[in-house]
Amino acid sequence: MASSEEDGTVEEKENNNKKRTKSTLATAWLTFYNIAMTAGWLVLAMAMTRFYIQKGTHKGLYRSIARTLKFFQTFALVEVGHCAIGIVRTSVIVTGVQVCSRIFMVWFITNSIRQIQSEESVILFLVVWTMTEITRYSYYTFKLLNHLPYFIKWARYNLFIVLYPVGVVGELLTIYAALPFVRRSGMYSMRLPNKYNVSFDYYYCLIIVMLSYIPLFPQLYFHMLRQRRRMLLGEVIVEKDD
């Protein structure tokens, strides 16, 4: 009996050591990732500010930062992986929707249609994204380092109240501005007849994307408001089962 109990204790210690090692590696990776992303969005913020000071206009700003923006926004797909493997306790679906919607805005709207790159709405959502991401990634970085300044926490759970709706307005206005160009060019569309016998109209796809904001935006916004009450006001949010 003593031998079996000792074996069980040894196995338990080994399992605990493995868990601690995995936790340490996960924390190290997440800290590196969030520092890198904070730095990336700070670079974008400085580049946008410098461009506007030098040129005195927003025209051409998107093109000047496009490569950096595409890299860091696309790299955010890693966050979906974080959720999927469990090193971050966040919904894969919520994270996936947020990340993929931004990648869609960057690659399939703004980057693909040069005629809209100087629209004010593009600058609007870029400024909002930049402010949001600098705040968000710096919050995660300081939290992982166990040294979270209150003003960072306050900014994380208060600025979104204004920034989130403003960013959504910028995105919707940008998609709306893209519609005439998409309709005239037929980009990303497939007309019948073709060898695949499939029809797809990107113009109507964008309209559906715009309509999808109606159910999705309130869900994500109120989710953040619940998080705000829990983190800043200390309320325990009880989810009711349907």
Distance of alpha carbon 55 from alpha carbon 46, whole angstroms: 14
CA trace torsion 161, 167, 172, 178 (10° rounding) = 180
Domain residue limits at 96: 17-233
Q: How far is CA 98 from the centre of its chain?
A: 5
What is the pLDDT at residue 50? 97
**Degrees (nearest 5) of the Cα angle 165, 169, 174?**
150
Residue at 117 is within a domain: yes
Catalytic residues: 164, 171
pTM: 0.88
Residue at 40 is within a domain: yes
Mean of pLDDT values over 215-227: 92
Mean of pLDDT values over 179-194: 93
Mean pLDDT (the chain) is 90
Is residue 238 pLDDT above 70, yes or no?
no
pLDDT, tens digit (0-9, with 9 covering 90-100), for 64-85: 999 999 999 999 999 999 999 9
Residue at 7 is within a domain: no
Residue at 66 is within a domain: yes
Distance of alpha carbon 13 from alpha carbon 26, whole angstroms: 20
Instruction: Specify the higher pLDDT residue, 41 or 6.
Output: 41
Domain count, the chain: 1
Residue at 150 is within a domain: yes
In the three-class reduction of DSSP (H, G, I as helix; E, B as strand; rest coil), residue 241 is classed as: coil
Residue at 239 is within a domain: no
Mean of pLDDT values over 28-52: 97
By the 8 A CB rule, do 58 and 118 touch?
A: yes
Residue at 10 is within a domain: no
Residue at 28 is within a domain: yes
Q: Is 239 left (phi over 0), alpha (psi -120 to 50) or beta?
A: beta
Instruction: Specify the higher pLDDT residue, 138 or 197.
Output: 138
